[in-house]
Structure 1
Amino acid sequence: MNKLAFWNEWNTTFKLTFQILSSLLLTFVVVFLAIQWGDLSPFYYWKLTGYLEHLSFPIFSNHSEFIESTITTDLPLIFQKVFGGSKTLSASYSYIYLVLLYGCLMGCLTLSTYLEKFWYYIGVGLWILLVALSGIGHVGFFDLYNQTAIIVVLLLFLPASYYFNSINENIGIGSRFLVFSGLILIVFGLIYFGSTYESPLLFLARFSYLPAALICLIFILIIGHEIIYAILSLTTPYSKSSSNNTTHFIVLSVAYLLNLAVLYLYSINYLNWDIYYINEFLLIAISAILGIWGIKSRQNRYAGILPYYPYTAFLYLGLGIITFVTLGFQAFHGNDAFITSMQNLILYSHIGFGLMFFLYIIFNFITQLKQNLPVHQFAYVEDNFPYISARIAGLIVVAALFFRAHYGSFYQGVAGYYNGLGDLNLALDNESIAQYYYKKSVSKSTNNHHGNFQLALLEKEPLQRLLYLKNSIKQEPTAYAYASLGREYENSSRFFDALFTYQDGLKVFPDHWAIQNNMALLYSKTNVLDSALYYLESSTPGSWKQAVVYANRNAVASLHGLELENQNNIDLGRFDLQSNTLANQLISNDTTSLSFVSQPQSLALNLFTFGYLKNLGLYCYQNQLPEFLQLIDPYLEAPENAAFRKELTLVKAFNLYRNGKVSKAIELIYQLKEMYEDESGKWNTLLGKWCLELDAPLQASKYLEAAREAYYPNVSADLAQAYHRLGDQSLALFLLSKESAANDSINPRLAAEWTKLFDKMQMNQSVWKRYSFKKERQLLAQAKKGGADQRLLFERLGLDNPFFEEGVLAATNYFQTAEEKEMAYRILHEAITVNEFSENLIKAYIDQCLNSGLIDFSEDALIKLIDILPREDYEAFEMAYEAKKTKAQTQLDQDW
């Protein structure tokens, strides 16, 4: 006979049922351990809070070897801190739990109908208790609540139960189970269609917490001594040839019990040795599996109550499935209060019943152990110390440990009940009711993580949030709580409290990526760069978490001016990582072309996509790449992006300027001048520096004078350069000497810079970097070659850059020759609107006006030459103009 696979001797139906139930039990054991040990609960999740820090990035400077003004923009760096959040889990999990729980309960109720009369009535009493605790009376149906609803349910089940037990005992177990299953479906239907609750079956799943907890308690107490019995079975084999059975049994059992004692002392914070402690859930998992054989080994003790084959075996498996389904369901929902309650009871049970069973074996069978007999075969046929007394003594030990903890497990269990109701009401958007239940939970177990963490998420008052978060890390902390508490301290500007919180968190959760990430950013704020980079570079969580860490690493490195060599970690789907990588390349003056360009799908920008687009624009400007201009316009036009429009418009203007579209660039800056008048100094300085680079010093001087009146820093150096290039060296030197004197006592170093520029300008050695016009000349050469696109090329020459006078005049001549006088006029008119002080363009415009009969417009343009030409040259031109004007007027009169 196979002692292990004993079920193989059963009939096919019972054997198959036993195998299915055993497989289910084993499955739920594994699922629970995986959720608990693998931190697989989806209830908590990581949330990101992004914020920008900015580097002052010089975007138009270094045009002089000496002191000059600098146009800067903010280089956005995206930082992301991590903190915990919770989410509403799908109702399907609760429905599955409800089906499994009540399915097993119907199985247990079915088996109870096979009990002998006295024990049957005990079973009926337990069933009545379970129904009363199940919450059916709270859910109600058709206005039936409390005792009335409970009585209705009992009137459905008790007659059927009594009928099977006492009237018709011949009905098979399968039929009985189907009847009870049908009755529970009727109850569910009454609740679903008749309850006034929203989602009443969800409430029933949560209310069923109490009967499920009671069954967990019963099952835990039943299997408390199974490991000791397993040790006995291993050390007293069937063969009498073995020796030292007594020694082996005592040594292994004492070692096991001592480990339990150490675990208990650790759980009450009496000791904290740096050793591996037995895990309570491993104990119950092993005990539950061993109990399949253990319950059979004592079948003779309860054979008169309920036969082992197959009823007790099925009942044991049903209770086990309920226990592990409940443990798994609560662990899945992050209900640490319930889990801790059961964890303590598991430990108490194994200590109490394990110790008493060990003493029971010693007192009754020490002689047989010394004789090396297979004691496990007759372990439950006691002689001196009754087995029932050992069980009662074990229960007394469990009660003693329970009372010593001041009913802690009970209060934690109640707290877990309220946590479930809080979660359910939060899922139904009853936030105030959810808070009420969470506070009830905290009132029962002050430091339970679930209740405190949920209250912290719902609380609006910062100090109260801090209190809840501090309580959440005292009993069963999670990395979510440590990260959230540290962030909360940072938000309250409590740097050291945040630092100590993160450090404590890393002691509990070594190398945890989220805590390391937050601590690295905290170190970065205090310029402790080595520590910041250490924590970011040593964190390798994988998946999206790795991208967050990499993005923060690039941001920290960029913030502190450190170039990163390894930039092969770009995630094409993450704008934070791409943005910070671009920022790092900008500060390191990387000139490589872009290997790819991502385009945000939503036109409504957020911090991440804004940061990416701006850094992309700056990178394209720095390296003269076209990608930014090809994609930016829809985002600028979207009304949702008003907060980002100024920065992106400025970057677009720079890209237009660098790509030769000077007119459009200047037009955008004029728009910014109108919208943001408080920054007029910046806009005028930029226009002035552009004009200096474009070799238009007179126009530059007008902008720079306005910028100087707005007190833009160091703009006098640019203005002096403009005066010098206009030939007014005395005014330029006067301005420089004035600035040097003004800084002499305030900032001697700056005064020396002004003096240095004064000396070089006095010797005509100051040189200003000039615009190359390379693209424009290439365009002109291409246009002169002719071809199908010649007209388009000349149009671009005429309109894109009015400071390239040769191209503008060539375009005007082309359209004049092609009898497109309107286009010729438009080109010149727009050119002198932008390049206001160009002698050649104004003269050409005057001639065009006269040729087109626009005499009044030509007179307006003539006035502009007064400020440009020397007096003699102006008078000579005016005389020639009058002759042309008379001729044009005569021609105009004849045409009319």
Structure 2
Amino acid sequence: MKKLFFWKSWTAAERISALAVLILLAAALLYLLAWSGIFSGTGRVKWDIISLVHDMAVPVNRLKLGDFEFVIPAPSVYITEQYAAPLMLPDAAAGLFFLVVALAGLSVVLAALTTLSRFWFLGGLAVLVPLLVFSRTEMLVFPGLPERTLLLLALVLYGGTGYYLQAFRQDVGIASRIALFTAISAMLALVTVTVCSGPEPAYTFLVYSLPLWLIPAVIFMLVSATEILYGIVWLTTSKSAHMGGRSLLNFSVIGGLYLLVLVFAYVSNTRMADWGLALVPVWLLGACSGLIGLTGFRLRCESTEGHLPFRESGFWLYSGLFLITAGVTGMAVAAGNDPLLEVLEDSVINSQLGMGLAFVFYIIANFLPLLRKGMQVHKVLYKPMNFSLTRTRIIGVALVAGLFSMQNLFPVRQGIAAYFNGLGDLHTLTSQYTLAEQYYKMSLQQEFQNHKGNYALASLARIQGDNNAAIYYFRQATLKKPSPQAYIGLSNLLAQEDLYFEAMFSLREGQRAFPRSGPVLNNIGLLYARTNLSDSAYYFLSSAEKLADDGVASVNILGVLSGVLGPEALDSLAGRSRSAGNLSWNANRLLVGNLAGKNPAEKSRNDALRPDSLLSAAGFAYWMNYTYNQAANDSTLARKIRQIASKNDLMAGDLLLASAHADFYGGNKTKALETLLALAGNDGKDSGLYHKILGHWFLQTGLYDKAIEQFSEVSEPDAVIGHAIAQSLSGNPVSGIIVLERLKESGTDSLEIARLQNAVTSLVPPRSAADSLLAAARKGGTEEAFRAALRYNPYDPALVAGVAAYLGQQKAGVPKAYAVVVDALRFNETSPLLWGEYALLSLDMGLSDQAEEARENVRKFADDAGYHDFSTRYHAKWSLKQKEKEDFR
């Protein structure tokens, strides 16, 4: 184990440089491991979530008359949320991070090349220069300079500095060399980003420079291909591993299993057979091989007899190539570029299988006797006795080439497809969708089943409204390397075309491919809910709720089941949810409260209203349900809803109805009635609903004649029942029975009509709460207490008279009392008691003409005894006022 810490004899500068390289490498690898959807071809695609608003009636207008309850529901809404396939844009920030990693690796490799002999240094430059040319740096134009300025600058700085260090300054340490090349890379990057005139210069370089990173990555995979076998040899022969003396048997078993894993991976990747076996992820094989090589490569350097010293060159060359490989892998994952990922996977498998077979032969040819004796072969593994390492490597490279040729060089076509996908991404980022579409189609010409190209074309077709093309490309995206996003995009488009069964089939296929995908299960549940299969909907939504932590499934469970389950069951579902912070979930929770008649006081959410007051679907549902739920608890709510309605024209009708509800139950019944009468007068599609709600409110306030007028405007069954109730409560039960006969026109059963007739004839007006309310107000002894009592029913004659009497006795209170009575008379214009109060208050205010008109109305509506009592009071006050006038004169 002591040899693992190979840098202990190095200088401080070398150790610091090595530590920096290893930290950057570890950060890149951990970033990849933490990435959701790593190596799946989907990258880190975020879901789009579509909020859908559904209508539902809530029984918020209730009138209890003994054992009979009359309900007129109000329109409300609930939310369902479905996942939608997003536009698969690359994660540019992550891609640029990995570009920095790759540039750091390139700097380390260039620094290492300058420590080699001139032959190997020039050989390295011979590889680098074409790769830089193929990077199409002319796409990054500096204003006023030739197109290839950046290429020339890079060649001069990299090549010139490298040649100077290799030829004249061999005394410069490796740490200084790395720092110098890193500074050059940073300077070139800074100049490119700040001076280049084109859009997205950094990402442009990332896309066009793919060959610069891919070729070194493939070379690294060849170089590190035998490192796992080295680790197996160490594991089976080292005394530190405590594997006993049976080295040959242990090596045969473990090495055989490793080669078997590679064979299965090769067969699976090349589609030679569908064995359904993926014993070890390919990315794990590549990562393990690279990490083992950080120490194993030291022995290989020692076997070169000084041509490749590990401390001065070998470690840096290896770690630099490792950084480049990690960088290009990260770029592929950040873009969801599955052809590029498959090229890397094929390179890992083919390299380790081809080189591994040759290396196993090398081990057997050279060390079979030592393995039989259980000796520590790992110490002399790169010191062959019979068969040289050079011939082994030649055979291994030939086997690797043979494995690639057995695929008809398909990985080469995949690399080209990946390149065109990158160009498509670049033009998508810059909103050049026509060019992006062309590049994605060129990608499909190279590999027609690649997920990235098909998915991107489906997304672009959907943006352009071409659903048929989008469906075709989404289907293609599910053929080879599918993703949950592709299945959901396909099913959503099929559902839009009313192809329910095809949409369900695609989602169930997605479920088989991704059984633990919460979004797929969620959308299956919503499809079942569309056909009223509530049990199946709940099964899939609850399964999705367990797998996803974004609260979408919880929103849908409450919404979908709100019209199916009882209030207690819904309360239970809401109580165990983990989505209390979700606005959509809270909208549905309030709906459940409205269905159950539960409305404990609560404050509105701060996130329910944007600064510009424009409502999202979730915001609209929240405010509708919150208003119906909290109308009695917040007297300022109606005004707030009217302000929101003024900024949301498309939702104004529903919001104004909700504001009227808040006014009616929150203490301003006159404003509520005025609002709803104005809405009903527009003769829109909802005018019938407005008339029914008005009729119900007039029933609640005891204005039965007004209720009859409103219910008479509508022929729906609940309006007919309301009309009959109003007739019965106004003292005409026979008329109520006759009205109920109209239910036959709507197909109501005769027995049900008879039951309603029996119930209606027995109805009696509810007892007025005026006495108790006035008693409580007198106990409070303040104007606010009396006004609070008045808010219960500002049209109840006894209540209005009591409040007016109190106000009239207060200093300067007659105008207030007068206003209270006038307000009551706006809707209760047939009450003799109110007209009497109006007449008396008119006298108090010196309005004798109005007083006389009011006296005539009292004569019109009151019976003889009532009018006699009023007349006595009226003449007494009239005489008093006349005397005061004479005294004043």
- 1:512-567: CA deviation from partner (whole Å, max 9, x where unpaired): 2222211112222222222222223334558851x322222112221213423253
Structure 2 residue aligned with 1:283, among 282, 285, 289? 285
Aligned partner letter, 1:51:
L
Within 5 Å, give how 1:56-71 maps onto structure 2.
Answer: 56-60=57-61, 63=64, 71=72
Distance 2:626 2:44 in 1: 37
**Structure 1 stretch displaced more, 244-253 or 608-617:** 244-253
Distance 1:524 1:444 in 2: 42
**Structure 1 stretch displaced more, 86-95 or 313-322:** 86-95
Within 5 Å, give how 1:669-748 maps onto structure 2.
Answer: 669-675=676-682, 677-705=684-712, 707=713, 710-728=714-732, 731-737=735-741, 739=742, 742-743=744-745, 747=747
- 1:844-864: CA deviation from partner (whole Å, max 9, x where unpaired): 324444554545545655675
Structure-1 residue corresponding to 2:563:
559
Aligned partner letter, 2:224:
I
Structure-1 residue corresponding to 2:822:
829
Within 5 Å, give how 1:208-247 maps onto structure 2.
Answer: 208-237=209-238, 244-247=246-249
- Give the conservation status (yes or no) of the 8 Å contact 2:203–2:426: yes
Closer, same or farther: CA 167–701 of 1 in aligned 2, 3 Å: closer
Distance 1:398 1:584 in 2: 65
Within 5 Å, give how 1:128-139 maps onto structure 2.
Answer: 128-139=129-140
2:616 equivalent to 1:606 = yes
Shift of 1:312: 1.7
Distance 2:20 2:870 in 1: 109
2:675 equivalent to 1:662 = no
Distance 1:278 1:316 in 2: 24
Structure-1 residue corresponding to 2:589:
581
SS at 1:577 equivalent:
helix
Distance 1:374 1:261 in 2: 28
**Structure 1 stretch displaced more, 364-373 or 858-867:** 858-867
- Give the conservation status (yes or no) of the 8 Å contact 2:85–2:488: yes
SS at 2:308 equivalent:
coil
Distance 1:786 1:113 in 2: 96
- Give the conservation status (yes or no) of the 8 Å contact 2:694–2:707: yes
Distance 2:346 2:121 in 1: 31
Closer, same or farther: CA 396–865 of 1 in aligned 2, 3 Å: farther
Closer, same or farther: CA 613–21 of 1 in aligned 2, 3 Å: closer
TM-score, with length taken from structure 2: 0.87
**Structure 1 stretch displaced more, 346-355 or 881-890:** 881-890
Structure-1 residue corresponding to 2:8:
8
- 1:350-404: CA deviation from partner (whole Å, max 9, x where unpaired): 1111112212333444455445554444444556654333323322332233233
Shift of 1:264: 1.8
Shift of 1:866: 8.3
Closer, same or farther: CA 887–712 of 1 in aligned 2, 3 Å: farther
Structure 2 residue aligned with 1:306, among 300, 305, 308? 308
2:525 equivalent to 1:515 = no
Shift of 1:205: 3.0
Structure 2 residue aligned with 1:535, among 531, 534, 540? 540
Structure 1 residue aligned with 2:800, among 808, 827, 842? 808
Closer, same or farther: CA 443–676 of 1 in aligned 2, 3 Å: farther
Distance 2:685 2:876 in 1: 46
Aligned partner letter, 2:559:
A
SS at 1:85 equivalent:
coil
- Give the conservation status (yes or no) of the 8 Å contact 1:113–1:164: yes
Shift of 1:158: 3.1
- Give the conservation status (yes or no) of the 8 Å contact 1:660–1:800: yes
- 1:616-638: CA deviation from partner (whole Å, max 9, x where unpaired): 333346xxx414x3434223213
- 1:744-802: CA deviation from partner (whole Å, max 9, x where unpaired): xx73x5333333444666xxx421563x543x544422443474x23x44455667634
- Give the conservation status (yes or no) of the 8 Å contact 1:58–1:72: yes
Distance 1:695 1:810 in 2: 17
Closer, same or farther: CA 63–320 of 1 in aligned 2, 3 Å: same
SS at 2:81 equivalent:
strand
Shift of 1:291: 1.7
Count of equivalent residues:
874
Structure 2 residue aligned with 1:641, among 618, 625, 648? 648
Distance 2:126 2:841 in 1: 110
- 1:241-287: CA deviation from partner (whole Å, max 9, x where unpaired): 97554443333322221221122222234444465512111111111
- 1:641-665: CA deviation from partner (whole Å, max 9, x where unpaired): 3333433433443444445643333
SS at 1:77 equivalent:
strand
2:110 equivalent to 1:109 = yes
- 1:318-352: CA deviation from partner (whole Å, max 9, x where unpaired): 11122113223432343333222101111111111
- 1:109-166: CA deviation from partner (whole Å, max 9, x where unpaired): 2222233333332122112123213332331335555666534532344343333333
- Give the conservation status (yes or no) of the 8 Å contact 1:473–1:481: yes
Aligned partner letter, 1:580:
N
Structure-1 residue corresponding to 2:254:
252
Closer, same or farther: CA 616–253 of 1 in aligned 2, 3 Å: same
Shift of 1:8: 3.2
Structure-1 residue corresponding to 2:294:
292
Closer, same or farther: CA 835–134 of 1 in aligned 2, 3 Å: same
Aligned partner letter, 1:536:
L
Structure-2 residue corresponding to 1:35:
35
- Give the conservation status (yes or no) of the 8 Å contact 1:780–1:807: yes
RMSD of aligned residue pairs (Cα, Å): 3.9
TM-score, with length taken from structure 1: 0.86
- Give the conservation status (yes or no) of the 8 Å contact 1:134–1:210: yes
Closer, same or farther: CA 369–559 of 1 in aligned 2, 3 Å: same
Structure-2 residue corresponding to 1:449:
451
Query: Percent of aligned pairs with the same residue?
Result: 24
Structure-2 residue corresponding to 1:362:
364
SS at 1:140 equivalent:
coil
SS at 2:715 equivalent:
coil
SS at 1:306 equivalent:
coil
Distance 1:887 1:52 in 2: 66
Structure 1 residue aligned with 2:414, among 412, 415, 418? 412
SS at 1:515 equivalent:
helix
Structure 2 residue aligned with 1:479, among 471, 476, 484? 484
2:839 equivalent to 1:839 = no
Distance 2:470 2:353 in 1: 39
SS at 1:232 equivalent:
helix
- 1:42-84: CA deviation from partner (whole Å, max 9, x where unpaired): 8411221111222233333565689998522223221111234
Structure-1 residue corresponding to 2:495:
490
- Give the conservation status (yes or no) of the 8 Å contact 2:216–2:321: yes
- Give the conservation status (yes or no) of the 8 Å contact 1:506–1:515: yes
Distance 1:785 1:25 in 2: 80
Unaligned 5+ runs, structure 2: none
SS at 2:82 equivalent:
strand
Shift of 1:214: 0.9
2:657 equivalent to 1:650 = yes
Within 5 Å, give how 1:616-631 maps onto structure 2.
Answer: 616-620=626-630, 625-627=632-634, 629-631=635-637
